[in-house]
Structure 1
Amino acid sequence: MHSPPLPPTDPELLAQMLALQEASPQLIGVFDQHDVLRFANPAFREAFNLAPEAQPRWLDMMRANARAGRGSVVSAPPAELENWLAAVASRRGKQAFRAFEADLMDGRWIWMCETLLPNGWMFCCASDISSLKTDGRALRLQRDQALRAAQTDVLTGISNRAHVLQQLEQQLAGLHQPGRRLAVILLDLDRFKQINDGLGHEAGDRVLCDFARRLQRSTRRGDACGRMGGEEFLLLLADVEAEQARAIVERLLEQLRQSRPLAEQPLFRYTCSAGLAVARAGDSARSVCQRADVALYQAKAAGRDRCVLASD
């Protein structure tokens, strides 16, 4: 989808807007479609421990802040940082507008608003609301934590079945808009029962977590992924042609071939099979997933470790 045309520029207006943002005590940041920080005012950079010239990816910024004890409060122990980040990333950039409360490590309580353009650029603005009455805040935080838990796969930290299917329904509802496309990919780890039986369930869990991390890294902010159950996952790629989607999946499969997720088993490797279907206007979640499932079966039957595109 193309962005709306920009209004005629007024140099003085743009200069004053920039000066106001620089002077504002509000935390202001702008991220591009790749979730790279392209602008941040001094208040934002101070809160998130960023050098004046730094332009990190959002996920890298959050990871560095968590390890340095800066930025947002992480409601998880250090050993579970990656799962916490995966859960947060699975909800980021999925709505045109989102507002929520957050705690900073310096003790401040902020109200963060995120505005998303159709082209993927995001405007973030946070206000310090520490001085406001906190009546009911604990209850709201418990509600938000319960909602996150209801949307998150406990083991891997990415979206669970219900949440990723909800995102699939939302993506399908937008296909009537001109230029919108959606690729739906079902992925299944090959011979996973042999991994559990031969190496134990703890090793199998680490393989699932390794796969989930790599799967999530293959997505953009407007995409989605989740664990459907067991060793089966769902990947949603927005606004890509079939061959572009296949190329993304093929890169993921190649990364898996190179992965060695078990330090105590340096020769261990694993693979994955994928079935890819392109959603059509009028598709339901069930119909498009059925086509992807047939393609996944064909990938397994053809020898595994490959991606098969569903035939129309």
Structure 2
Amino acid sequence: MSEALLPQTLLASHEASPNPAALFDAQDVLRWANKAFCEAYKVQPDGHLTWSDMMRSNHASGQGAVIEADDIEAWLAATASRRGKLPHRAFEADLTDGRWIWMSETVLPDGWLMCLAIDITPLRQDSRSLRQAHAKALRASQTDALTGLANRRQGLQLLQQALAESEAWPLCVALLDLDHFKQINDSLGHAAGDQVLCDFARQMLASTRREDGCARIGGEEFLLILPAAALGQAGVIVERLLARVRQSRPLAEQPEFGYRCSAGLVEAQWGESSEVLLQRADAALYRAKAAGRDRIERDAG
């Protein structure tokens, strides 16, 4: 077989395979899926459908992926904190048609993500409940319970991982803090404050790329890890986030209420420790607060 025919042959083999297969682009839009994937997840690639939209549809219809969550947005936030962050990962998943699959996700050099699933329903399931309980406990230990983002421990682990991988460079990091958050809690109550924190988490996910790391590291402070982004590109991403926050109105009972955030953005230097990098980001964030808030202060190192 000539090399020129290999791509068509590979595509044809995936099309004919009973195992679900799909490709998502760097923006997590479903670009191609074989018949088995379309039938399993009740979707059709149209050039616009994102992975998040696919999961929302599955959750709403009770078809496709089994999603055991009352709050789909919190589930999406938690899952997005893991999706596409490693070159390869694999995990068990359930489909509503009763199948049990082993799903693998591989991030390609251009940022696209390939999903391949194998039906493992016939395998012995003696230890499955134990594995599922372990996986659930591990996810809980890595997740902020309120926002669904990575928690402080997981966020710092993601940062250490990015600093050690040459593929992640240039690398930028931002610390973000909600402006006057104490006043929100004091005037509107902690329940409203929690809604604002959850809204900010949604704005982070909507503003960033799949490969970016998003974590809540304490109170109203968040960490954003931006691999393969120099200071200029990283600044565009953070500015987009601040713009979304300015437009957001997260409280249905207070339709005029809005909030703001400040950011300290730094570009990492090779060999720099995570502690020093975060100190620089924190200093930049302090300058943003001192300069009037609702802004970014940058530091190229």
Q: Does TM, scored on the shorter chain, surpass 0.5?
A: yes
TM-score normalised to structure 2 length? 0.96
Aligned to 2:177: 188
Aligned residue runs from structure 1 range 1-312, under 5 A: 10-51=3-44, 53=46, 56-77=49-70, 80-174=71-165, 177=166, 180-310=169-299, 312=301
The separation in 1 between residues aligned to 2:264 and 2:161, in whole angstroms, is: 21
CA-CA distance at 1:186 after TM superposition? 0.2
CA-CA distance at 1:310 after TM superposition? 2.3
The separation in 2 between residues aligned to 1:220 and 1:150, in whole angstroms, is: 24
134 and 309 in structure 1: CA distance in 2 versus 1, 3 angstrom threshold: same
Report if aligned partners of 2:167, 2:228 keep a CA contact under 8 Å in 1. Answer: no
CA-CA distance at 1:178 after TM superposition? 7.2
Aligned to 1:5: none
Runs of at least 4 residues off by over 4 Å: 52-55
Partner amino acid for 1:283?
A: E
Report if aligned partners of 2:29, 2:47 keep a CA contact under 8 Å in 1. Answer: no
TM-score normalised to structure 1 length? 0.92
156 and 178 in structure 1: CA distance in 2 versus 1, 3 angstrom threshold: closer
Gaps of 5+ in 1: 1-7
Provide the secondary structure at the position in 2 that maps to 1:124.
strand
The separation in 2 between residues aligned to 1:259 and 1:179, in whole angstroms, is: 31
Report if aligned partners of 2:77, 2:148 keep a CA contact under 8 Å in 1. Answer: yes
Partner amino acid for 2:23?
A: V
The separation in 2 between residues aligned to 1:205 and 1:309, in whole angstroms, is: 28
Partner amino acid for 1:213?
A: R
Partner amino acid for 1:141?
A: Q
Residues matched between the structures, number: 301
Provide the secondary structure at the position in 2 that maps to 1:101.
strand
What whole-Å deviation, never above 9, does each CA across 1:29-61 have from its counterpart, x for those lacking one? 111222111211000000110136465211111
Provide the secondary structure at the position in 1 that maps to 2:203.
helix
Q: Sequence identity of aligned pairs in percent?
A: 57
Partner amino acid for 2:169?
A: R
